[in-house]
Chains A and B, each alone.
Chain A
């Protein structure tokens, strides 16, 4: 009789692979999550969830697509958290994006800060495509795969996101 798959011992990713992926991509996952949520503690929680999922679910990752998988899980988790906290945001207002610059970067660049805050203040559907495209450098086809949305939707969201950003920066609402 063949053994039921349920009785198989739980798999776990090889420690060396985990260490490598953590060293290479954890900071990116953390920063994208922070950029999305504007909450450092929650961004750490998301990063924790993403890497725990990586360790315990052992996904079959195509070589060179590891970061895309990590960011896909992170963005989905951020989206869940963002939706779940809408009551708090309505009552207390959206979290302010606090910049956490490297101590070595001393000269404050107001225009860049405004841009970052404006991106953070975009509605979530535009924010996530802007982050993945402009911050993390993914193409439309890749983002379409990551977010399970048609490429046309991604293009349209990028275009509308840019327009909204322009309005926000013009009005100084960031």
Chain B
């Protein structure tokens, strides 16, 4: 007699196809694969001696920092002091490397709270009022900078302080991208680094006295404008300077389009932004006809 379980399992392919019919390998995933394959072939091997050396230097800096901030003194135990470190570090990022976040200084056209659908745009992360969107599947561990805090999972993301996300699980560690503070962060999801780039959300784009340069901070190596071409080296850097000096803020709205500008940084990070006419959609939308005409002028 045939095993009844065997009979049930014969139906597994049909049941699985019905249950997972909405799960498809998309063109987006295909593009990520091609990008990573290109990256992995050109990726430079890190200097092995640098890892222990940097680790030692990092430990020394943390210990020195704890002494300087009086963390080992006062009424707190050593463990209590370490437990409050993430909040202190977030505050330093918000007040030191970037302008303060007082409500009156928001350059956004609308203030308030943003509700984000879990399926919209692949996920959002907020670090002290600055919004970041998921940019790509994975990035190299070499870009991981200093620890910002642990993400708190929420269904709607508000413009308040702290670190929260609608796509990362509670406790996911969030780190700066070295040299790109304020422009991008990475989430360490069980050893896999996910890159989030700066974006606008719920009417909030740049905060404080930030400019477009702050939201795209980093050493640029290459620029690719779809349908036009790719520039690298000094040409790319000069064009970025044109963008930063000429772009004017056109509002927090940011929408998808068929044209993209891909900025490749020297650390291997790639940031892809939509382009509509002479408008760049990044952290808000920015008008810059000078940039686009100069870019096209290099090819035509």
Where the two chains meet, the residues of A that have a C-beta atom closer than 8 Å to any C-beta of B are 10, 12, 22, 26-27, 29-31, 34-35, 40-41, 43-45, 47-48, 51-52, 55-56, 81, 84-85, 88, 99-105, 109, 112-113, 115-116, 119, 130, 134-137, 162-163, 165-166
Contacts and interface: CB of A to CB of B under 8 A. Distances in A.
B13 A137 contact: yes
B140 to A, nearest CB: 13
Given A100-B20, A101-B18, A115-B8, 18 more contacts: A12-B37, A26-B30, A30-B23, A30-B25, A31-B20, A31-B23, A47-B29, A47-B33, A48-B29, A52-B33, A52-B37, A52-B40, A100-B21, A104-B21, A109-B18, A115-B15, A134-B9, A134-B13
Contact of A134 (B12, B36, B37): B12
Interface of B: 3-6, 8-16, 18-25, 29-30, 32-34, 36-37, 40-41, 137-138, 189-192
A40 B33 contact: no
The interface residues of chain B, by DSSP majority, are classed as: helix
A102 B18 contact: yes
Nearest to B21: A102
Nearest to A133: B9
A52 B13 contact: no
A27 B12 contact: no
B37 A135 contact: no
Contacts of A51: 30, 33, 37
Contact of B21 (A35, A56, A84, A105): A105
Contacts of B23: 27, 30-31, 34, 40, 43, 100
Contact of B11 (A35, A44, A55, A115): A115
Given A22-B25, A88-B190, A162-B3, A99 B12 contact: no
The interface residues of chain A, by DSSP majority, are classed as: helix
A55 B31 CA distance: 13
Contacts of B3: 162
Contacts of A116: 12, 15-16, 19
Given A45-B137, A85-B190, A103 B22 contact: yes
A151 B136 CA distance: 40
A55 B33 contact: yes
Contact of A113 (B9, B12, B13, B19): B19
Contacts of B191: 84
Nearest to A15: B34
B15 A29 contact: no
Given A45-B192, A162-B3, A35 B30 contact: no
A73 to B, nearest CB: 13
B20 A35 contact: yes
B138 to A, nearest CB: 7
B260 to A, nearest CB: 20
A48 B32 contact: yes
A55 B24 contact: no
B146 to A, nearest CB: 24
Given A99-B19, A100-B20, A116-B15, A162 B40 contact: no
Contacts of B20: 31, 34-35, 99-101
Contacts of B13: 134-137
Contacts of A99: 19-20
A100 B22 contact: yes
Nearest to B10: A134
Nearest to A51: B33
Which of B16, B30, B34, B189 gathers most chain A CB within 10 Å?
Answer: B16
